[in-house]
Chain A
Amino acid sequence: MDIISDLVVILIGSGRDLAPIIVLFLFFHLVVIRQPITNPRRTLGGMMYVYLGLSLFLAGLEEALFPIGNIMASQLTDPEFLKGSSAAVDLGNWKAYGWVYVFAAAIGFATTIAEPSLIAVAYKASEVSGGSISQWGLRITVAIGVAFGISLGSFRIITGTPLYLYILVGYIIVVVQTVFAPKTIIPLAYDSGGVTTSTVTVPVVAALGLGLSAAVPGRNPAIDGFGLIAFASLFPIISVLGYGQFAQWYGARGKR
């Protein structure tokens, strides 16, 4: 029954969430284009779908996606679980949380390899490059980047080191790679950072980070909790640039 009462609250809330887009939409139609809406019934029906769909999604998110990230974080950092065979665990030591890194990498790799936007971009890239960028090559490269990124991001949360240091180093690597990478791969690499995190993945990953920062002693969710998604966006850039460099080197070697 909780779910239903939550749903009512969320229905009211998502009406407010959608208000800006509806205002904008009406403004464009009535003021800029000055044409009647071509198919008002279909448009109204679509708006209802958007409204109900968004409400259902947000309600389900509270019941499923956020809790799942949270539960995984707390179970994988549970002292009982960490003890396993050994007698004592030092919860302040980052080495105690091995399974967290494995889980972070697994969730990053699995969600990215199946990500529809990435499939679309990989398809477009292979099409416009005339096949020299392979779809699977790009998808696997990006997925490895995300897996490594989220895993390193978990390490950052557990150790409580400042986020900007990692991002700064990442940027420097990207800048250096940009100088040496083949020109055609650069825009694609920059874009692939943005396409990795889908609407379903973001809440799970965000909840994982917040759960970790709440579970590890001495961490503060307000400061340490966010940042995983930033890692998931940065590291694919590095891996795709690397892929481009490798492909160039490999191609040059083949020609000789």
Chain B
Amino acid sequence: MRSIIPSQLVRSIRYIAGRIGNAARDLLPIVVVIAIFQLVIIRQPLPDFGTILIGSLMVVIGLSMFIQGLEMALFPIGEHMAHELARKGSLFWLLVFAFALGFSTTVAEPALIAVSQKSANIAAQGGLLDNNPGTLNRYALGLRLTVAVSVGAAILIGVLRILLNWPLHVMIIGGYVVVMLITVIAPEEIIGIAYDAGGVTTSTITVPLVTALGVGLATVIRGRNPLLDGFGLIAFASLLPMIFVMVYGITVFGI
């Protein structure tokens, strides 16, 4: 017993250190670029340097804990469900699963939480929303749920596309046309955040899971080329949020 515990401890410390190293690598390019600009071009002390340093540490540790927790709790459940569904062979539950995967990985996306909060604050500063915490939180939550539903719908459509072999480029180009048409009637203040929502949704958590789903499906179904059919799920996940968020903007702010 005694000899086991230290080696386990060493292993788990090494593991956690590795995780934090991964998260730090995410932050490193930003640190390098900003350091160069501060030292060579701006040549001014960075205000609140201490706070920023502590904050960056919190970001790194928080992100690594978050991903670690997902791998412990969410991913095994997801894999388990995918397995069960494949065994059942039911199209309906596969589509429900596709939707749930898109929805749940997006609703907990940290960047989306941050940006929707920011968007609520900006809208309040611009006098579009009442500046009280209740209204702002409702708006931010509504924005997040809208985006999450749209990503769920996007993954669902993407899976249908792989199953039924619909042409990707026709659908994407059709989507672009819809984006442009809605832009004409959407309120000006929602357009920026709506266009951004497409890029915010598909980050750290969503991409690996969704790409794996797509390539996996295309590999399993006969007559599908993983390169041609497996990719393309993320494209929908970047496109549909723009449309849904603009519709959300129309319902909140009016035309």
Name A's B-contacting residues (CB within 8 A).
Answer: 3, 14, 17-18, 20-21, 24-25, 28-29, 32-33, 37-39, 42-68, 71-72, 75-76, 81, 99, 103, 106-107, 110-111, 113-114, 116-117, 120-121, 124-125, 128-129, 163-164, 167-168, 171, 174-175, 178, 183-184, 186-188, 190-191, 193-204, 206-207, 210, 220-230, 232-233
Contact = CB atoms under 8 A, between A and B. Distances in A.
A206 B195 CA distance: 12
Contact of A111 (B29, B115, B207): B29
Given A65-B55, A230-B198, A45 B203 contact: no
B250 interface: no
A233 B198 contact: yes
Nearest to A33: B84
Central interface residue in A18, A20, A29, by most chain B CB within 10 Å: A20
Nearest to B106: A21
B56 interface: yes
Interface in B159-184: 168-169, 172-173, 176, 179-180, 183
Contact of B33 (A63, A107, A202): A107
Interface in B180-218: 180, 183, 188-189, 191-193, 195-196, 198-205, 207-208, 211, 215
26 contacts: A20-B145, A25-B74, A37-B77, A42-B72, A46-B70, A46-B74, A56-B59, A56-B62, A60-B61, A61-B110, A64-B51, A64-B59, A75-B44, A114-B28, A116-B25, A128-B230, A164-B183, A175-B176, A187-B228, A191-B233, A202-B114, A222-B125, A227-B195, A227-B196, A229-B199, A230-B192
A59 B54 CA distance: 10
A49 B26 contact: no
Contacts of A116: 22, 25-26, 204
Interface string B44-76: 101110011111111111111111111111101
Contacts of B199: 193-194, 196-197, 202, 229-230, 232-233
Contacts of A44: 73
A195 B62 contact: no
Contact of B231 (A111, A187, A204): A187
B235 A56 contact: no
A62 to B, nearest CB: 7
A103 B227 contact: no
Interface of B: 22, 25-30, 32-34, 36-37, 41-42, 44, 46-48, 51-74, 76-77, 80-81, 84, 93, 96, 100, 103-104, 107-111, 113-115, 118-119, 122-123, 125-126, 128, 145, 148, 168-169, 172-173, 176, 179-180, 183, 188-189, 191-193, 195-196, 198-205, 207-208, 211, 215, 225-235, 237-238
Nearest to B123: A222
Contacts of A128: 215, 226-227, 230
A42 B71 CA distance: 10
A200 B196 contact: no
Given A20-B107, A72-B37, A226 B73 contact: no
A24 B103 contact: yes
